[in-house]
Chains A and B, each alone.
Chain A
Amino acid sequence: MGSYRLQRLLLLCAGIWLVAVVLLPLGEVVRQSLADRQGRFVGLSNFAFYLRSPSLLATLLNSTAISLVVTVLVVPVAFLFAFALHRAVFPGKALFRTVIMAPLYAPTMLFGLSLIFLFGRQGMITTGFFGRYPALALDIGLYGRTGIVLGECLLAIPPAVLILSAALENMDARLLEAAASLGSNSWRTFWTVAVPAARYGLIHAAIAVFTLCFTDFGVPKVVGGQTPILATEVYKQVVGQQNFGLGAVISMMLLSPVLIATLLERHLATRQQALFNARSVPYIPKRAWLRDISFWTFCVGVSGAVVATLLVAAYGSLVRVWPYRLELGGWHYRFRETGGGGYQAFFNSLRLAAWTSVFGTPLTFGLAYLVEKTRGWDRFRRAVHGLALLPLALPGLVIGIAFIFFFNAPSLGYGVAVPNPFRGLYNTPALIVLSHIVHFLTVAYLTAMTALRQLDREFEAVSEAMGVSFVGTVFRVTVPICLPAIIEIALFFFVNAMASVSAVVFLRPPGYPIASVAVVNMEDAGDVAPAIAMCMLILGANLLVRGLGEGLRLMVRRRQRWKRA
């Protein structure tokens, strides 16, 4: 009986934990959005005030319009890119795949900062390469919508490519062969077979891109200029003016479309599973020179843009005084005469990312195990599963605000006022680790879930019948088999905790500098070069960790001799 009791106890703990760190903080945002400054319930009047105020309404419209434009621009480009990688023949595909993912490892501010070096008032292109080629000088009026759209496009491409690649990979090659055998030419096959078959992937990618832009804080913070949008507005209201009520209202505005989109996406995901059968035949493209060369050129162009942005960022971080003294050196990497905290911030970030990884990985894997592999309490298990999926719909900014509300409240009143038992966490690095874990919980949880679902469903039943406790089975069988996925989850937590700014910007304890927040602070103070130097440090650390992780995975794969038949 011990085994069952322990499983249920753990499941219960997991449920309570999720309620405490996801549901209650979120509830606090909802409550604050319905209250006035004195905390009295005022219904929807905050929202009415918001919608009547032309300047506030403009932020909502700006955010929506910009996100829609980016979605329309990015999804076709990402689809063609993914399509090229799957359906054309050319060398260097692995390189293209790797390069296009680079933006995932940098703080989003990097793309705004890099755009300043390219198109800003003193930008390389604005000044015609520092006056050397005046004929090429082009001022695109970066600050404002143009800058935000450009920056968001760059950082929305990798997730869109990832989603569309997966969609194309799942497609049954026999469909294409059938089309070809019926005499359909490749243009017609593309529009009548490939695009419709990937339609769920396209919708999925569109939702992901929209959500990313709608909630991103880094790019608009840097190049947003005078264009107010929701993400920067909520920062201004909460950090600048301490107006929590309005902050909560804007949070709800940020949250609602994302929540709707996520629900829609989950709904589609379940429908999509039914569409593909496990016996799909993978597609192996044949050479067609014209098509291959055009696709190759396209891929070079897209990944070139990404690489150029990163190179300009690297260059900008090394130039002594932009644009007057162009000699290269490490001046900005010393972080002297600037705020933010310099290397102390960087090392703090490394520590926080490590802790996030160390705590987040066993937590999410254990959670997924308890939900997927134990029996009984089915309704409770489904509820826990739902709670674990919820953070996917929560923008980092909303998590940050929710955590302020919840963990800073002196008492938790739900009918009766209870002294807040979690208040001790407020203004501690531990709360930041917790916010990172919540922020990235769902993706990690789903990764663990996918790995666990590939295991035979009867492992637990067999062990149970033999009288082996589930703990023994987990450590002897489940964990060793899932090790590659576990490493992937650990890397995911580290890299994202390192680069993410949105939740921590609200939660940074005084006197505890953090790298990504330091970027924001330095940029605020006009120290663009040190800010981008810090971005480069974060990117470098992430790429290094990713590389080490890949090495580790390779080692694990070597040791998993049992996989080879």
Chain B
Amino acid sequence: MVLNCLHLVKRFGSVTALGDVSLEVREGSFVCILGPSGCGKSTLLRVIAGLETPDEGRVYLEGQDITRWIPAQRGFGIVFQSYALFPNLTVLENVMFGIRGLRREARRHRAMEMLELVRLSDEIRRYPSQLSGGQQQRVALARALAIHPRLLLLDEPLSALDARVRSDLREELRRLHRALGVTTVMVTHDQEEALSLADEIVVMKDGRIHQSDRPHRVYRKPGDLFVADFVGAMNVLRGWRADGEGVVRGGMRLRLRNGHLDPGETVIVGIRPEEVGLALGDEGENEHSTEVISLEFRGPFYRVRCRFLEGELPSSLTVTAHWPASVVESQQIREGMRVRVRLPPDALLVYAAGEVAEATVPAAVAG
């Protein structure tokens, strides 16, 4: 482990920004700290950078306790959302600013190297205000990388950019990470960014880590309802009772893949909209009749909201499905139509009913 945070606690007055947070970062990995605003993710980054001192807990770098080190001793590169480029210095001067202990020629050489890496070597005489937002962020990256950081810290680096530039820069970040192999910790509130960039995602809320895992595991096996809801869209179907092989709700029954539930326990069932199937053939397992209550065109697919029927009567339960546009159009699905939906056992996630989205139960931390 290159970086190890143990039981970090940070309070600002009565607000607990970090409540016992532990985090491990492997050499060369790209870790994304993901969470809604105010979840403590930026505080965690600032504690790692040395810009805040934790009230409790320790930070280790390669086994060495660096909790009390000042930022300069740590030698980390930081990129902020605001870029924080010095407006009165040129691109080259900005990148050279932090390089120290070398002769001017060598500093310049090093800075040029970095600017070539972010493909800005033609803009070195310009001032930040003469560059686009994406270019400015690349200068900030070059400046942070120029000091050979042991760790690269990115605080919402893409949030101030518009969508197209953001996706370009996302690729750029991935390319740089591959090319340099520098261990990177990025803070973001954008789950798409985290899913596409990270080797490992750390989901935070209210100063606590809810889940920490590889991106596809966070998406497929969210540790709790909060993670399920925050990363991607999720149908939350409440009011089920465990019963042998599956769960029941009124007259409805769902079979689960591995149901080790205590009979009688109330549970919540989750399923991602793209996993909800449209059943066309003969009636099969986990299929239920519903009535379409709304249709929303989303380009490649339709977002279809369906209400479950109990016999002929509408129930209080609805589910949202993403069905390919071609299917919806060829089946001529319209509002008010009866359709059968399939909830495949493999795609169903089950959570204890006591655990609501605002759960305070300890997060399920998977290695």
Contacts and interface: CB of A to CB of B under 8 A. Distances in A.
A461 B49 contact: yes
Interface string A1-15: 101100000000000
A195 to B, nearest CB: 38
Given A466-B97, A466-B147, A468-B100, A476 B89 contact: yes
B160 to A, nearest CB: 12
Contacts of B49: 461, 465
A458 B88 contact: no
Contact of A468 (B78, B97, B129): B97
Contacts of A290: none
B77 A465 contact: yes
B87 A562 contact: yes
A184 interface: no
Given A3-B72, A4-B70, A477-B86, A466 B98 contact: yes
Given A461-B71, A465-B72, A467-B75, A561 B84 contact: no
Contact of B86 (A459, A561, A565): A459
Interface string A449-471: 00000001111011111111000
A528 B143 CA distance: 66
Interface residues of B, number: 28
B129 A467 contact: no
A462 B84 contact: yes
B84 A459 contact: yes
A480 interface: yes
A558 to B, nearest CB: 14
B128 interface: yes
Nearest to A561: B127
A467 B129 CA distance: 25
A557 to B, nearest CB: 13
B167 interface: no
Given A466-B147, A476-B86, A481-B87, A564 B129 contact: yes
A563 interface: yes
Contact of A465 (B71, B86, B88, B130): B71
B105 to A, nearest CB: 19
B351 interface: no
B51 interface: yes
A375 B127 CA distance: 29
Contacts of B128: 562
Given A481-B88, A563-B129, A461 B98 contact: no
A412 to B, nearest CB: 38
> Looking at chain A's contact residues, is the secondary structure mostly helix, strand, loop, or mixed?
helix
Nearest to B147: A466
Interface string A367-394: 0000000010000000000000000000
A458 B82 contact: yes
A464 B97 CA distance: 11
B80 interface: yes
Contacts of B240: none
Given A477-B86, A481-B87, A465 B129 contact: no
B308 interface: no
Contact of B72 (A457, A466, A481): A466
Interface in B24-59: 49-51
B76 interface: yes
Interface string A59-95: 0000000000000000000000000000000000000
Contacts of B75: 467
A186 interface: no
A560 interface: yes
A374 to B, nearest CB: 12
A467 B130 contact: no
Nearest to B75: A467
Interface string B328-350: 00000000000000000000000
For B49, B76, B77, B86, the residue with the greatest tally of chain A CB atoms inside 10 Å of its CB is B86
Contacts of B147: 466-467
Contact of B84 (A458, A467, A481): A458
Contact of A565 (B74, B88, B98, B129): B129
Contact of B80 (A461, A468, A565): A461
A467 B86 contact: no
Interface in B123-144: 127-130, 143
A560 B88 contact: yes
A477 B98 contact: no
Given A1-B70, A3-B72, A477 B89 contact: yes
Contacts of A1: 70
A463 B128 CA distance: 17
A456 B51 contact: no
Given A466-B97, A467-B72, A563-B87, A461 B127 contact: no
Contacts of B71: 461, 464-465, 467
Nearest to A559: B88
Nearest to B49: A465
B313 to A, nearest CB: 49
Interface in B83-105: 83-84, 86-89, 97-98, 100
B216 to A, nearest CB: 33
Contact of A458 (B80, B127, B129): B80
Interface in A1-36: 1, 3-4
A375 B53 CA distance: 11
For B71, B78, B80, the residue with the greatest tally of chain A CB atoms inside 10 Å of its CB is B71
A3 B80 CA distance: 22
Contacts of A461: 49, 51, 71, 78, 80, 84
A119 B89 CA distance: 59
A478 B298 CA distance: 49
For A4, A561, A562, the residue with the greatest tally of chain B CB atoms inside 10 Å of its CB is A562
A457 B127 CA distance: 19
B80 A462 contact: yes
A495 B100 CA distance: 43
A562 B80 contact: no
Nearest to B130: A565
B334 to A, nearest CB: 41
B307 to A, nearest CB: 42
A468 B51 contact: no
Nearest to A1: B70
Interface in A536-560: 560
A207 B74 CA distance: 51
Contacts of A564: 129-130
Nearest to B99: A466
B72 A562 contact: no
Contacts of B98: 462-463, 465-468
9 contacts: A456-B83, A458-B82, A461-B71, A461-B78, A463-B98, A465-B98, A467-B75, A467-B98, A481-B87
Given A462-B78, A462-B98, 7 more contacts: A465-B71, A465-B78, A477-B86, A561-B127, A562-B88, A562-B128, A565-B130
Per CB-CB distance, the 3 closest pairs between chain A and chain B, nearest first, are: A466-B98, A458-B84, A562-B127
